[in-house]
Structure 1
């Protein structure tokens, strides 16, 4: 009986550790892109790994960057902010703006992203689904 309890405890710790890791590929809410999240030192970073339609960063405020491909574009830079949560910035290529961002792992397959206009309470959020 004691051995079963120890195995169950170890499984619980391993399952919790897996939950606390957003590293992988995620489908955005509208299904038009996948974001690859990886480690960047103590932080996590995200880049566009797949797009339903190819495009360039045409809305970037820097005219020199408006012809760069969206595929491979870094959009997330987040630092740990507690259990299963990260905060930092996200770049939105649809409007060429960067926003304050928070990311929370809701389950092994669901990630909640929230972006806010810097210095305001104007925010929006969506759930991403794990692809890999």
Structure 2
């Protein structure tokens, strides 16, 4: 009987949202989907930023930047 009550309490708390939700920490190094680069994500002054930390083929250019003046800068 105790097991049934305990199980009921656990299941009820799981389905009613009484357990805290844990958010994943986005900081760290992340590999892009096609595996050609890693992006380092960090917190900076209350915001998040990312920068290329590794490239499979070094020497890439920021050719997809919408700002034309920045398309030739290295990644």
Task: Place the TM-score, normalised by the shorter chain, in its bin.
Answer: 0.5 to 0.7
Q: 2:71 pairs with 66, 71, 74, which one?
A: 66
Partner in structure 2 of residue 23 of structure 1: 27
Partner in structure 1 of residue 62 of structure 2: 57
Q: Secondary structure at the match of 2:64?
A: coil
Aligned residue-pair number: 54
Measured in 1, the distance between the counterparts of 2:43 and 2:65 equals 25
Partner in structure 2 of residue 48 of structure 1: 52
Query: Which structure has the highest strand share of the two?
Result: 1
- Alpha-carbon RMSD across the aligned residues, in angstroms, is 2.1
Measured in 2, the distance between the counterparts of 1:24 and 1:41 equals 16
Offset of residue 47 of structure 1: 1.1
Q: Note the residue ranges of structure 1 that are not aligned, 5 or more in a row.
A: 1-15, 71-132
Q: Note the residue ranges of structure 2 that are not aligned, 5 or more in a row.
A: 1-21
Offset of residue 27 of structure 1: 0.8
Higher relative contact order (CA 8 A, sep 6+): 1
Query: Which structure has the highest helix share of the two?
Result: 2
Runs of 4+ in 1 over 6 A off after TM superposition: none
Offset of residue 50 of structure 1: 0.9
For 1:99-118, what aligned pairs fall within 5 Å after superposition? none
Q: Which has the larger radius of gyration?
A: 2
